[in-house]
Structure formats: C-alpha cells, structure tokens
C-alpha cells in the first residue's frame, strides 16, 4: 500500500496539482476583479439568480472527486476506463454549468464586458483542470 501511495506523488502529479491550484486561484482573482465592471443592479441580479448554483453547484463535482478515490478499489482492468469516465463526467459538468451560467447572464442582460472577463476567468480555471488531467495521465507512463 505504501508503494502505491508513494508512486501517486510523482513530479508530474505535483506539477499538475500546482497548475490546477494556480488556475483556480488566478481564476477566482480575475472573477472578483471583473465584478468592478458591473453596476449595482447587475450585481444584485447575479447574486439573486445564481444562489442555488453557488449552494448546490459543487455537489456533482464532489461526487466525481470522491469517485476518483473509489477507482483504486476496482480491478486493474477497469481502472483506466473508470479514470477516463470520471474525467469525462468532469468535462460534461463543466460544459453544462458553463452553458447555464452564460445563458442566464444573457437573459439577465449582464453587460458584455463582464461576460468576457468572466469567461476568461472560467477558461483559466478549466485550463488548470486540463493541465492536471494531462500531467496526471502521463505520470504513470513516464515514471515507469
């Protein structure tokens, strides 16, 4: 068991984790800065419209996250398909939430400058996840 845990923390895994964290924190920073582009009325609309997404939006991502822990208990032949399946669920989750958020912003009449800045922040976050996926997927093949 200790050897399995030790192999998990390869340099590529750690680099991917760092890129993921950098992507998430810089995305949050840009998202908060973009709030300056909103009027008071638009800020109020956003707070009212996305309250349920802020409360419950992380639940599917948590379920997917915990599924990664369960993958290690599967037979060896099912580990890679389950791994890619879990990442496919992450991608689907991001696509659905992205479309819902920007469709709702258009319906609310949120200004285009904020939407562009928010879109850049979200893509930075997605880039962190993609970097983590790529480096984490390569890690077992490179460390052999």
pTM: 0.80
Q: What tokens does 139 get?
A: 């890690």
Give the pLDDT confidence score for residue 7 in this predicted structure: 57
- In this prediction, residue 53 carries a pLDDT of 83
Collapsing DSSP to helix, strand or coil, 133 comes out as: helix
DSSP 34-75: HGGGS-HHHHHHHHHHTHHHHHHTTHHHHHHHHHHHHHTTS-
- Spatial CA neighbour of 114 closest among 126, 123, 105, 127: 105
Comparing CA positions, the residue from 103, 111, 125, 107 lying closest to residue 35 is 111
Question: Would you state the pLDDT for residue 126?
Answer: 94
Res 96: pLDDT: 93
Q: Residues 78-109, buried b or exposed e (16+ Cβ, 10 A)?
A: eeeebbeebbeebeeebeeeeeebeeebeeee
3-class secondary structure, 143 = coil
Q: Between vectors from CA 120 to CA 116 and to CA 121, what angle results, nearest 5°?
A: 120
Residue written as token pair 């490179």: 142
Residue 144's pLDDT is what? Answer: 55
d(CA 15, CA 136): 9
Low-confidence ranges of the chain (pLDDT < 50): 1-3, 5
Query: What pLDDT does residue 2 have?
Result: 44
């Amino acid at each position: 068991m200790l050897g399995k845990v030790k192999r998990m923390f390869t340099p590529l895994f750690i680099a991917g984790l760092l890129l993921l964290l950098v992507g998430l924190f810089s995305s949050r920073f840009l998202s908060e800065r973009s709030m300056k582009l909103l009027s008071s009325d638009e800020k109020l609309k956003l707070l009212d419209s996305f309250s349920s997404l802020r409360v419950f939006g992380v639940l599917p991502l948590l379920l997917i996250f915990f599924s990664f822990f369960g993958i290690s208990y599967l037979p060896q032949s099912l580990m890679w398909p389950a791994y890619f399946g879990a990442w496919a669920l992450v991608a689907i989750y991001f696509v659905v939430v992205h479309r819902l958020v920007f469709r709702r912003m258009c319906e609310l009449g949120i200004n285009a400058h904020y939407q562009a800045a928010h879109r850049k922040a979200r893509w930075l976050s997605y880039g962190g996840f993609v970097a983590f996926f790529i480096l984490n997927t390569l890690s077992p093949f490179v460390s052999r």
